[in-house]
Amino acid sequence: MIFKTLTLNNFRAFEGEHNIDLGLRRDGLISKPIVLFGGLNGAGKTSILTGIRLSLLGKRALSKAVFNTEYHNYLIEEINRNVLRENEDTCAEVSLEFTHTHQGKHNLYKISRSWSKHNKPTLTLSENGELVSNIKEDDKENFLRDLVPTGVEDLFFFDGEKIAELAEDNTGSYLKEAVRKLLGLDLVARLSEDLDIYKRQEIIDKAGQVERDKIQSLEDSKALLKKSTFETREKIDICKNKIDSIDFKISQVEQKIASLDDQYEKNKETDNEAATQIQANIKQKESQILNEFDGAFAVSLAKKSMATLLKQINAERQIKNELAFFEQLNAFLPSFEEKLDLKAPGSRDAIIDIFNESIPSNLDEKKSQIKLDLAHRESSLIDTQVNNLAVNSSRNVGSLLSELKDLEYKRDNLALSIERAPKEKEVAELYQDLRQLDKERSAAGKEYIYLLQVVKNYITETLDVAKRLEKLYASQKINKVMESAILRIDATKEVLTNFNVQLTNLRLKQLQELFEESYRKLARKGDIKLTANIDPETFDVTLIDNEGHEIKRKSMSAGEKQIFAISILEALGKLSGKMLPVVVDTPLGRLDSHHRENLVNHYFPEASEQVIVLSTDTEVDEAFLNDLLPNISHAFEINFDQQSRTSSVKEGYFWNPELQEAS
């Protein structure tokens, strides 16, 4: 795939229609791979990346699950503010023209997405200049999904923030998710589930009516529980997206506050810094409180019930001790009686009577008082949970709530202090927004925790029903033909499992080799020499240095982390098998000069057949530009007009306005 033309019409900072030529220009017979965009921060570089992603991906460009309404609201925000103020019916559009070769056939495609404030987005697709109108919009989206499968987009179209996110991802969660999507493990699991469904249906068909009714009843219950689980998980996703959205808004408000700091007196700057720190502390306390809620805190809320439970446990422990003692005594008496007959026959009866009088007559009644019948270890665990963990958790929550209240009091007082300054009215309004967002964040967090507990309960019930179903299926009698079919199904599932394991191991080995190759190419001589071991079951990534020692990601330098992230993205991109252009926005901001030099010389020229680099003048400076020149097809400069608040694109690059077609 090679991009030819990107068109932005009333999109973000681009007012009116802007056609940007992305097609690679030739130097004789050779095409140079790099199209370089230069622009200061805020000029509109991200709009280029966003326009490409939105054209190809549509709703998937948001990188999270959203409803159509949320997607439309997002698109409305992307309409140029100037034209929208003048006319609410203004239409915005992004379109991308590209070539794609499939099975030896070379085609030219153009995709366009248009929308307005009052009209939902529409997608048009043309092939070799002819409008494709005989297929549904979903089929068009499926065509684009085949070109850029889910999970692949972030490997080819990304920005400096994505690199930073992956670099700082100490848990490896991003890599786990990316590998799962690329391996297609969900397809293998789905096929295995289909075989189970077929097997069960065959058993049901051969069962009697009573058994069929029982099975059907349990299957209905299971289906209902699965449906409820799925619906609740959807609510969880929506709630998580809501939390992320609020966090993003909070981040935006905090950034606006920070951007206004320089306008105010030094003492007010101190107040703003304190407010930011207080807000961070509030988030931390809220997070700690939520962690306590997930632990033993709930036990402390049921003090009476727990006291009754412990009383019963202690009573049963005492009864068990007594029963054990008298059991041993009864076992001892026969031998003791024999010794008395030999050594004290005259006193035998009196002594035996004393022993018998010591044995209570209500032992059976005491046995009936044992209701819980817990092992000593289990009762000790409960005792620890109630008397230690729950008490500590309750104390911690009380302390955290008190600290949180103090922080909120300080925050509110600080906000009031800022509001009282007439020239800082805008800042005061932002703090009001921040307080409102904090309330929304707290409410959404509580809802999220509640939904997690609901889905946990559904899963527990589903597992219980599944176990009962499994027993019921296993109890059915089957004939030889059915037995043979079931054996074949089980054998097929075993083959699938083995295939899954072998495929996973093979692709992970390939990923490790691709990562090592990329990292060696991009790292400096003085950097740690890394290899990556990826667990085939958990997909946890372990980094190993050249001496065989495990490396903690936190111990790596900022430059090493960035190079690690870019190497992983390049390795995953190659593993996907897709030949797509690479579009990267502000990739060099956090790198030192040596790491930048390696990326300029060894990554950009080799990352793909077409590489679109969106850079500031300090990232690709004059020296790096000279290094890139042999591989630059052409360059653009993005300018932002402060007066009209709009962006425009012209060929050239900062101090080199003549750079239209690199030589």
In a domain? residue 116: yes
| 306, 275: one domain | no
| 218, 79: one domain | no
User: Residue 647 CB: number of other CB atoms within 10 A?
Assistant: 24
| 96, 16: one domain | yes
Mean pLDDT of 267-278: 77
Among 209-213, 222-226, 425-429, where is mean pLDDT lowest? 209-213
Q: Domain containing 458: what range?
A: 207-296+405-480
Q: What is the pLDDT of residues 221-250, one digit of tens each?
A: 888 998 899 889 888 878 887 887 888 888
Tokens at 560, concatenated: 């090493």
User: 211 vs 106, which has greater pLDDT?
Assistant: 106
| 106, 47: one domain | yes
Distances (CA, A) of 13 to 233, 259, 632, 644: 37, 20, 26, 10
Residue 457, C-beta contacts closer than 8 angstroms, at least 6 positions apart: none
Q: What is the pLDDT of residues 322-366, one digit of tens each?
A: 777 766 767 776 777 677 676 777 676 777 777 666 666 666 666
In a domain? residue 543: no
Dihedral sign computed on CA atoms, order 236, 242, 245, 246: negative
The pLDDT value given to residue 170: 63
Mean pLDDT of 485-508: 75
Contact status, residue 640 vs residue 647, Cβ threshold 8 Å: yes
Please give the angle made by the CA atoms of 607, 608 and 614, to the nearest 5 degrees.
70
| 409, 384: one domain | no
| 283, 413: one domain | yes
Residue 593 pLDDT level (bands cut at 50, 70, 90): confident
Dist. CA 152–CA 616, nearest whole Å: 26
User: Residue 25 CB: number of other CB atoms within 10 A?
Assistant: 14
| 291, 310: one domain | no
The pLDDT value given to residue 658: 62
In a domain? residue 357: yes
Q: Where are the beta strands (DSSP E) in 480-544?
A: 531-534, 541-544
In a domain? residue 185: no
User: 97 vs 419, which has greater pLDDT?
Assistant: 97
Domain count within the chain: 3
* 3-state per-residue secondary structure call for 41-75: CCCCHHHHHHHHHHHHHHHHHHCCCCCHHHHHHHH
Q: What is the pLDDT of residues 516-529, one digit of tens each?
A: 888 888 876 655 66
Q: In this model, does residue 9 exceed pLDDT 50?
A: yes
In a domain? residue 532: no
The pLDDT value given to residue 96: 96
The DSSP secondary-structure symbol of 620 reads S
In a domain? residue 166: no
CATH number at residue 88: 3.40.50.300
Dist. CA 124–CA 114, nearest whole Å: 9
Contact status, residue 432 vs residue 255, Cβ threshold 8 Å: no
| 421, 305: one domain | no
Residue 647 pLDDT level (bands cut at 50, 70, 90): very high
| 25, 86: one domain | yes
| 51, 87: one domain | yes
Dist. CA 529–CA 520, nearest whole Å: 7
Sheet with 122-127, edge to edge strand ranges? 14-21, 2-11, 91-102, 105-116, 122-127, 130-132
Residue 422 pLDDT level (bands cut at 50, 70, 90): very low
The pLDDT value given to residue 662: 44
Q: In this model, does residue 440 exceed pLDDT 80?
A: yes
- In 3-state terms, what secondary structure has residue 335? helix
Among 53-62, 170-179, 499-508, where is mean pLDDT lowest? 170-179
| 416, 272: one domain | yes
Dist. CA 198–CA 195, nearest whole Å: 5
Rg (CA), the chain: 34
Q: Residue 106 corresponds to which amino acid?
A: H
Q: In this model, does residue 624 exceed pLDDT 80?
A: yes
| 383, 270: one domain | no
The pLDDT value given to residue 663: 42
The pLDDT value given to residue 154: 82
Q: Which of 57, 162, 56 is nearest to 614 (CA)?
A: 162
Query: Across the chain, what does the average pLDDT equal?
Result: 80
Among 40-54, 255-269, 312-326, 488-502, where is mean pLDDT lowest? 255-269
Tokens at 572, concatenated: 């995953």
In a domain? residue 263: yes
The pLDDT value given to residue 268: 65
